[in-house]
Structure 1
Amino acid sequence: MIWHLIPWMVLERTVNALLQHDPNSSERLQQLAGKHFRFSFKELPFDINIAVHTDGIALSSVDDGGPLDCHVRTELGVLPELSDTANLTRLIKADQLDIDGDPMLAQQLVNLFKALDIDWEAKLAEKLGDGMAHRVSTLFKQSRERFKQHSEVRQRWLKGVLTEEKQVLPNRLEFELFKDDVQALRAQIERLQRKLK
């Protein structure tokens, strides 16, 4: 049946349209052209296969049996962290990441999308005109800034409730004192062990 292919075709077309809107993405595509990837996410019952071409990518949930350059097994939430090389060792040690193949290829693929730089105001101007596009873009930026501020206020409030009012979490001073006590206890245990030996 063709019905199970339609979501993949729509997603593939959307992703390739985004890549085309970024003038710098063609250089990143060139570096990965001809590479085949598979992503196995713990949250999904299927694998995602990605073939990179010079003009875009091809997506599929069906294994074509061809050779893979990189197979990544992880969780969806971990994916953005792959772009930073410093995170790879930590994620592997924490059993949150398993890579067969070249880890640098996985990072390049994540960066292909993470580094997207699209001038949305210019794209809107083509459809709505300069004045309206500027207004819409300004409203979007203001809304995003307001959302960020509200999010920070909520986080501070929640932290205050958990540490001060409900005392579910220790405050920073209590935590530092506890840490010092643990280090002193560890030193005492090490001294006792040396005496026993």
Structure 2
Amino acid sequence: MTLLPLIPILLVEKLANNVLHRDPESAERLRRLDGKRLRFHLKELPFEVTVSVDAHGVQLSTSDDSEVDCRIATEMGVLPELQDTANLTRLIKADLLDIDGDPMLAQQVVSLFKSLNVDWEAELAKTVGDAPAYWLGKLWRRSREQVKTHWQQQQRWVHGVLTEEKKLLPVRAEFDQFKTDLQQLRAQIERLERQCREKKG
């Protein structure tokens, strides 16, 4: 195995464990998953990633080919949707997800990170001090609210466009009537053309 995939995987592993250790509630979630192993085959990556969980954190590997409790083939964008059981059937039917093994394990590993509850302002204060951390936290919350508001506005706009477009589009009966009228008009034109040719002849 080359160092090219190994370096980013090691960085992701270090970052993941760093974040997990900052949340006191992660210890219990890790304990429940102790000894579990799952393998991801992500469409965007040229290699598979094996995730091994123990009480101390997670280990990532791109060269592990031993047995796992669950193997998942999907895309990166689909991973957050795995937390909701209701999404699994839909994703499988849409050929966006293939699971071999325990599907609950995949949900638990995704939930391990999605359920993180870290006081980032307090963590930042340890590095830059209380006052800068407070202002940076305030700026982050304000920016997040602005992004959320903008996203909601975009959703409303798209919904409005689709609703208006639906009103403008002809219903099936109107389209069928238009097609019938067009065929009748074409037949009339053809009859007139024949009559003109007969008169000339």
Task: Please give the TM-score of this superposition, normalised by the length of structure 2.
Answer: 0.76
Within 5 A, what are the aligned runs for 1:161-176? 161=161, 164=164, 167=165, 170-171=166-167
User: Compared with structure 1, are the counterparts of its residues 21 and 178 closer, same or farther at alpha carbon in structure 2 (3 Å cutoff)?
Assistant: farther
Matched residues, number: 172
Letter matched to residue 59 of structure 1: L
Q: Which moved more, 1:18-27 or 1:44-53?
A: 44-53
Q: Distance in 1 between matches of 2:65 and 2:158?
A: 50
**Between Structure 1 and Structure 2, whose CA radius of gyration is higher?**
2
- 1:36 is matched with which residue? 37
Q: Distance in 2 between matches of 1:40 and 1:4?
A: 14
User: Compared with structure 1, are the counterparts of its residues 55 and 178 closer, same or farther at alpha carbon in structure 2 (3 Å cutoff)?
Assistant: farther
- 1:14-43 CA-to-partner distances (Å, cap 9, x unmatched) read 111011111111111111111111011223
Q: Distance in 1 between matches of 2:161 and 2:24?
A: 47
Q: Distance in 2 between matches of 1:91 and 1:156?
A: 26
Q: Which moved more, 1:124-133 or 1:105-114?
A: 124-133
1:76 positional shift:
1.5
- 1:52 is matched with which residue? 53
Letter matched to residue 47 of structure 1: E
- The answer to whether the aligner puts 1:72 opposite 2:75 as a matched pair is no
Letter matched to residue 18 of structure 2: A
Helix, strand or coil for the counterpart of 1:10? helix
- 1:14 is matched with which residue? 15
- 1:50-81 CA-to-partner distances (Å, cap 9, x unmatched) read 1112111111221x231110001112221111
Within 5 A, what are the aligned runs for 1:98-137? 98-137=98-137
User: Compared with structure 1, are the counterparts of its residues 3 and 72 closer, same or farther at alpha carbon in structure 2 (3 Å cutoff)?
Assistant: closer
Gaps of 5+ in 2: 174-201
1:4 positional shift:
4.2
Q: Distance in 2 between matches of 1:107 and 1:5?
A: 25
- 1:195 is matched with which residue? none
Q: Distance in 2 between matches of 1:114 and 1:108?
A: 10
Gaps of 5+ in 1: 182-197
Q: Distance in 2 between matches of 1:148 and 1:103?
A: 31
1:163 positional shift:
5.4
Q: Distance in 1 between matches of 2:5 and 2:41?
A: 19
RMSD between superposed Cα atoms in Å: 2.3
1:120 positional shift:
0.3
User: Compared with structure 1, are the counterparts of its residues 95 and 3 closer, same or farther at alpha carbon in structure 2 (3 Å cutoff)?
Assistant: closer
Q: Which moved more, 1:146-155 or 1:71-80?
A: 146-155
Task: Please give the TM-score of this superposition, normalised by the length of structure 1.
Answer: 0.78
- 1:188 is matched with which residue? none
1:155 positional shift:
3.5
Helix, strand or coil for the counterpart of 2:38? strand
1:123 positional shift:
0.5
